[in-house]
């Protein structure tokens, strides 16, 4: 497959536009040396299936904190977060972990690849945790890497790959279990223009062809312009 070919995944129903996630009155504060630090205040918004939303705001406005909450990596101090009709604020850690593994894919600016593992093995990690059989896992990982133009780099380790190639591996890994929600934290921040466009092309294709919801935290106006909607965080509040 050529670079930019949409990654393999199940097609969506064109009429399925119900909200995948709903955030209502979400707050998050931290205690630091006995002092309360309020990061998020009464955040309220929703994201539909198949929608691409960019979260923008100045440094320190709470963007990464919000993304961690949406990814079930953290719990809110108050408010409600409903993901795929499940009120996550009422779930125990085991159910939250399963929901995160089955329904959410993460793309980080720093890639977070396993250094001593091949590109093929890195893409397969979520499928290992999900109990996907070896043959199916290897086949899908290969297809995903071919889709991002890395079919010739299956056995390469992260240190043998450029930054753009590592991010493409990270993207393929995030999509290996066909998540309903894709969360991307500055996914193009360390990439050149061509690699940035390719990453955004793939994220947009996941929304259009599979109906995945995509939430991208970004400082890049060009990335935000390609989203269907922009949510601005100002001093921890959504606009």
CATH (domain of 78): 3.40.50.300
220 — phi, psi (to 5°)? Answer: -90, 115
In a domain, 97, yes or no: yes
Mean pLDDT of the region 215-232: 95
In a domain, 7, yes or no: no
23 lies in which domain range? 19-238
In a domain, 53, yes or no: yes
The bridge status of strand 86-87 relative to strand 104-108 is unpaired
Its pTM stands at 0.90
In a domain, 12, yes or no: no
Mean pLDDT of the region 124-133: 92
The H-assigned helical ranges of 74-118 are: 93-103
In a domain, 201, yes or no: yes
Distance CA 188, CA 43 (A): 25
pLDDT at 185: 93
In a domain, 6, yes or no: no
pLDDT at 27: 97
Is the pLDDT at 148 greater than 80? The verdict is yes
Q: Is 186 left (phi over 0), alpha (psi -120 to 50) or beta?
A: left
Question: For the chain, what percent of residues have pLDDT higher than 90?
Answer: 79
Is the pLDDT at 9 greater than 80? The verdict is no
In a domain, 4, yes or no: no
Mean pLDDT of the region 78-96: 94
In a domain, 216, yes or no: yes
Query: Using 50, 70 and 90 to split pLDDT, how confident is the model at 125?
Result: very high
Task: Provide CB contacts within 8 A for 46, sequence distance 6+.
Answer: 19, 21, 22, 23
Q: Tell me how many domains the chain contains.
A: 1
């Amino acid at each position: 497959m050529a670079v930019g070919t949409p990654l393999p995944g199940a097609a969506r129903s064109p009429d399925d536009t119900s909200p995948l996630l709903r955030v209502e009155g979400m707050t998050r504060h931290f205690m630091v040396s006995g002092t309360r630090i309020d990061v998020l205040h009464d955040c309220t918004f929703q994201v539909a299936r198949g929608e691409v939303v960019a979260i923008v705001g100045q440094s320190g406005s709470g963007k990464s904190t919000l993304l961690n909450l949406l990814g079930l990596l953290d719990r809110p101090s108050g408010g409600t977060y409903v993901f795929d009709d499940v009120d996550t604020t009422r779930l125990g850690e085991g159910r939250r972990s399963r929901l995160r593994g089955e329904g959410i894919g993460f793309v980080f600016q720093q890639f977070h690849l396993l250094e001593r593992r091949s590109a093929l093995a890195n893409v397969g990690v979520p499928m290992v945790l999900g109990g996907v059989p070896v043959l199916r896992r290897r086949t899908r990982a290969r297809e995903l890497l071919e889709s991002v133009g890395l079919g010739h780099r299956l056995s390469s380790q992260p240190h043998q790959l450029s930054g753009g190639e590592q991010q493409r591996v990270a993207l393929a890994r995030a999509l290996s279990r066909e998540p309903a929600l894709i969360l991307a934290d500055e996914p193009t921040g360390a990439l050149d223009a061509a690699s940035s466009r390719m990453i955004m092309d793939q994220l947009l294709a996941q929304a259009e062809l599979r109906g995945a919801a995509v939430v991208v935290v970004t400082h890049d106006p060009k990335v935000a312009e390609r989203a269907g909607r922009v949510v601005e965080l100002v001093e921890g509040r959504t606009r």
